[in-house]
Amino acid sequence: MRTTNAIALLVASGLVLNLPAFPAAAGQGERPPGATVEAPIGLLDAVQSTLARHPLLEVQRQQVELRRAQKQQRSADFDTLLRLTTTHTYLNTPLTEIERSGGAVSGVTPDAIRTNDLALIGSAHRLLRSGIAIGPTVTMNRATDSLQNLTGLNRTRVSFDVNLPLLRGRGRDVVTAPETAAEIDVQASLYDLNQEIADLILSTATSYWQYVASLRQLQIIAESEARGQEFVEAVTTLVQADKLPRSEISQAQANLAGRAAGRMVVEQGAIEARSNLALAMGLTPEQIAELPPPADDFPDGINQPPPALSPERVRSLIALALTRRADYLAAEKTREAAEVIRRSAGDRLRPQLDLTISGGYSTLREGRRPDEFFASPFSRMKGPNAVVGFHYEMPPSNNLARGEVAEAEASYQQSVLLKTDRARVIANGVVNARTAIVTAVNRLNRANEAVTAYQAALEGERDKLRLGVGSIIDILTIEGRLTEALLDFVSAQQSYAQSLVQLRYAAGLLVEPGQTTQSFERDVFFQPPPQVYAGQ
């Protein structure tokens, strides 16, 4: 009878019968224990921080610049190449007795002949993308000596040279293959940048919802611990008033200790969730510990109609993903680049046979002055001159070319296999993400029903206590189960929020492929993509 009266006192005090409520929205209402007072941060703010600060994005941007630099290097093969060569030769050549005798006839008896030659060669050649090389060449030479050419002779030869490949190195597809492949690699690197953006946004959104969930769960556990403390104090008061046996204190303290231990685990989880979000946002080490609490509440998934799982709709979503997923598009570009190199590699097995044609004129001007040297290209022009020749080259083993062909073939086959495997992974991800959102919607509704049911059950236990037919054990049991239901409800909310962004990621609807700058609206993270309901 004394225990029944004590229970009545507990009921009257209202200490063990207050129903646990749904946690307040993050950033609103009472702060969870340990929360800071800085202005809360929204999910879009976190995503923008990721795009602006995360070092991996800058790494990938530099990879794009690297590919562009490599493409520029490949284009250099078709730049006009200017060459200028000048030599000045001064020689003393001893003369034979016969040569000296010949000089004596003319009244000159030197021991040696002194020659002074100046040569200047300039050219501007360019390789066309067809494989033909063209360009002019100007060769200027001034020769003087101490025996026969005392006044100096200035000769100039002007020519226009054409090198026409007849076998190897002929045709635009072959000649421009490295440049074309490098340009495709630039496009692939842009898609890689898009995929890096999608990966980091997915990580940020997932970490954000984990942060929200951890603070919600911490709030639930902290409130449960506070109720346990109130219960211990109430039981202690009643034991001291000789209304309850002293053994009841041990039970109440054990219940409180269990709740405190659970709260410590959740506190650690909240700290780790905050750090993980700060890391995903690209914050500096100094800023990680200063991250404010989240501002956004979970998206409302209660009574949200789940998308259909018809095979036709799933196939349609997979087909959409294969047109928008940046990692698949990058794999396709890699295959295209490998195919370009593969098609051109066979050309290296051919022998080299070039036709060389050169036409021009020659000039002559006498004199030793510098102006006479530079005026020689325009004096006493004679021509035309013509030169025709063939150049043939073929290594018997040709191991280099054979190895290049084998390498190009292996690289192409590898790119095809990687693209095929990427398609498999994407299709699997779409199926799993679509199933996950259906499961998340159903779980969220069931978790909501469980919370409502346990709240009603706890209310019923309160009525039983008022009538004196209930027990403290029943109250603690139902209150504990309601706390677990609330924690599961928060977990279900987190799963639903994460399934929304995961589905957009899997279907390629999170970023725009091929765009270096991305913009987002709030609905991207709070509403399912309309494509999942199309045709239902």
For the domain that residue 464 is a member of, what is the CATH number?
1.20.1600.10
Q: Do 149 and 215 reside in the same domain of the chain?
A: no
Can you give the pLDDT at residue 474? 79
Does 403 fall in a domain? Answer: no
Q: How far is CA 362 from the centre of its chain?
A: 60
**Range with lowest mean pLDDT among 114-118, 443-447, 460-464, 467-471:** 467-471
60: its two tokens: 């990938």
> What's the mean pLDDT when you consider all of the chain?
85
The mean pLDDT of 341-358, rounded to a whole number, is 93
> What's the whole-model pTM score?
0.81
Q: Do 394 and 416 reside in the same domain of the chain?
A: no
Q: Do 212 and 144 reside in the same domain of the chain?
A: no
For residue 509, the one-letter residue type is L
Q: Is the pLDDT of residue 505 over 50?
A: yes
Residue 109 sits at φ, ψ, to 5 deg, of -125, 70
Using CA atoms, how far apart are residues 234 and 377, in angstroms rounded to an integer? 115
Q: What does the H/E/C string look like for 470-531?
A: CCHHHHHHHHHHHHHHHHHHHHHHHHHHHHHHHHHHHCCCCCCCCCCCCCCCCHHHHCCCHH
Q: For residue 482, what are the CA distances in angstroms to 20, 396, 428?
A: 7, 85, 37
Q: Do 193 and 223 reside in the same domain of the chain?
A: yes
Does 73 fall in a domain? Answer: no
Q: Angle formed by the axes of helices 311-324 and 326-345, to 10°?
A: 60
Does 75 fall in a domain? Answer: no
Q: Is the pLDDT of residue 405 over 70?
A: yes
Exposure on the CB side of residue 385, measured as CA atoms within 13 A = 14
Segment 232-252, tens digit of pLDDT:
887 788 788 887 777 778 877
**Range with lowest mean pLDDT among 247-261, 462-476, 489-503, 516-530:** 462-476
Segment 444-461, tens digit of pLDDT:
999 999 999 998 988 888
Segment 8-31, tens digit of pLDDT:
444 444 444 444 444 443 443 344
Does 210 fall in a domain? Answer: yes
Q: DSSP letter string over 508-524?
A: T-SS-TT-SS----THH
> Alpha helix locations (H) across 76-144?
97-105
Does 230 fall in a domain? Answer: yes
Q: Do 357 and 478 reside in the same domain of the chain?
A: no
Q: Report residue 47's pLDDT band, with 50, 70 and 90 as the boundaries.
A: very high
Q: Do 381 and 496 reside in the same domain of the chain?
A: no
Q: Which residue has the higher pLDDT, 251 or 159?
A: 159
Can you give the pLDDT at residue 111? 77
Does 72 fall in a domain? Answer: no
Q: Do 54 and 39 reside in the same domain of the chain?
A: yes
Q: What is the DSSP letter of 122?
A: E
For residue 229, what are the domain limits?
2-67+180-338+410-532
Q: What does the H/E/C string look like for 395-460?
A: CCCCHHHHHHHHHHHHHHHHHHHHHHHHHHHHHHHHHHHHHHHHHHHHHHHHHHHHHHHHHHHHHH
Q: Do 169 and 299 reside in the same domain of the chain?
A: no
Can you give the pLDDT at residue 470? 64
Can you give the pLDDT at residue 229? 86
CA angle 86, 92, 93 (to 5 degrees): 115
- Sheet with strand 382-393: strands edge to edge: 81-94, 112-127, 133-145, 153-165, 352-366, 382-393
Domain count, the chain: 2
Does 227 fall in a domain? Answer: yes
Q: Do 136 and 164 reside in the same domain of the chain?
A: yes
CB 483 within 8 A of CB 262: no
Segment 289-315, tens digit of pLDDT:
888 999 999 998 887 777 766 788 888
Residue 356 sits at φ, ψ, to 5 deg, of -110, 125
33: its two tokens: 């224990």
For residue 96, the one-letter residue type is T
Q: For residue 111, what are the CA distances in angstroms to 145, 150, 152, 482?
A: 13, 16, 21, 120
Q: Which residue has the higher pLDDT, 175 or 369?
A: 175
With tokens 């202690």, the residue in question is 236
Q: Do 360 and 488 reside in the same domain of the chain?
A: no
Query: For the chain, what percent of residues have pLDDT higher than 70?
Result: 88
H or E segment to which residue 391 belongs? strand 382-393
How many helices and strands (H and E) does the chain possess?
A: 14, 6
Q: Do 449 and 503 reside in the same domain of the chain?
A: yes
Q: Do 200 and 51 reside in the same domain of the chain?
A: yes
Using CA atoms, how far apart are residues 19 and 132, in angstroms rounded to an integer? 87
Query: For the chain, what percent of residues have pLDDT higher than 90?
Result: 55
250 CB-near residues (< 8 Å, 6+ apart):
none
Does 344 fall in a domain? Answer: no
